[in-house]
Structure formats: C-alpha cells, structure tokens
C-alpha cells in the first residue's frame, strides 16, 4: 500500500502575454502558460483531471474542470517530467489562475497536486 509521502509532484509555471491575439479595445486579453510537472516522489502517478479557478482583476471567478491536460493523461514515473503549453483569456489586463491536478498512483490511490498561482499581466500595466 502506498504512503502519501511517496506522492511528491513538483510543478513550475511560466506565463506570457499574447499581444497578437489580444483585443484590448474589446476587453479581451490572451495569455499562454507553460506548466512543467515532475514526479519527485517514489511511486508512478497518472494525471487524471485538472481543476482551475480563474480570477480577473475585478474578482470575477471562472472555474474550469476536466479530464487530463491538452488531451493527455500523462503517466509520470519517479523522476519523469511532463511539460505542456496552453492558453487562457481575461476581460481585464490582469488576472490569476490556480488549481490542482488529481493524480492516481499505480495502486489506485488518488491524491491532489496543487498548482501554484499564476499571475497574468499585460506588460507595463502594473508598476
């Protein structure tokens, strides 16, 4: 039986403003984000689902949940890293996004890996 201390998932994030896709005059700001997921634990784990809480600068929330990421449910053996890039939009030039991945180990034990808060900001908007 696996011990939850065997489940260690390290997550790193990076964001970028997509100026060419954004339409500030229509209050649409698009951003890309790249997430790296590394299994630093002792047991293999598969990413089953994702859950996001997205907040714009006015505090308006959007929640998104679904299976896998970018159409995949990657299996990460100890030491493996999976990276993907996706995008999101805001109706304000600033917003945040955080959430969690639901993972399952080889023995069927589900656990959550917290996704660090990402900050999205149009360049030169904040001082």
* CATH code of the domain containing 104: 2.60.40.1470
Boundaries of domain holding 75: 4-120
| Number of structural domains the chain divides into | 1
Q: For the segment 91-118, what is each residue's pLDDT rounded down to a tens digit?
A: 999 999 999 999 999 999 999 999 999 9
In a domain, 127, yes or no: no
In a domain, 95, yes or no: yes
In a domain, 22, yes or no: yes
Whether the predicted pLDDT of 126 surpasses 90: no
Q: What is the 3-state secondary structure of the chain?
A: CCCHHHCCEEEEEEEEECCCCCEHHHCEEEEEEEEEEEECCCCCEEEEEEEEEEEECCCCEEEEEEECECCECCEECCCCEEEEEEEEEECCCEEEEEEEEEEEECCCCEEEEEEEEEEEECCCCCC
Whether the predicted pLDDT of 1 surpasses 50: no
In a domain, 126, yes or no: no
In a domain, 125, yes or no: no
């Amino acid at each position: 039986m696996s011990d939850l201390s065997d489940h260690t998932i390290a997550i790193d994030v990076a964001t970028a403003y997509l100026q060419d896709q954004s339409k500030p005059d229509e209050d649409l700001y698009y951003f890309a984000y790249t997430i790296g997921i590394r299994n630093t634990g002792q047991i293999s784990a598969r990413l089953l689902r994702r859950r996001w809480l997205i907040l714009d600068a006015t505090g308006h929330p959007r929640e998104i949940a679904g299976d896998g990421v970018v159409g995949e449910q990657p299996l990460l053996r100890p030491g493996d890293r999976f990276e993907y890039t996706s995008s999101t939009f805001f109706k304000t030039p600033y917003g945040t996004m955080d959430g969690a991945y639901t993972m399952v180990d080889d023995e069927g034990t589900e656990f959550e890996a917290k996704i660090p808060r990402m900050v999205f900001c149009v360049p030169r908007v904040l001082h």
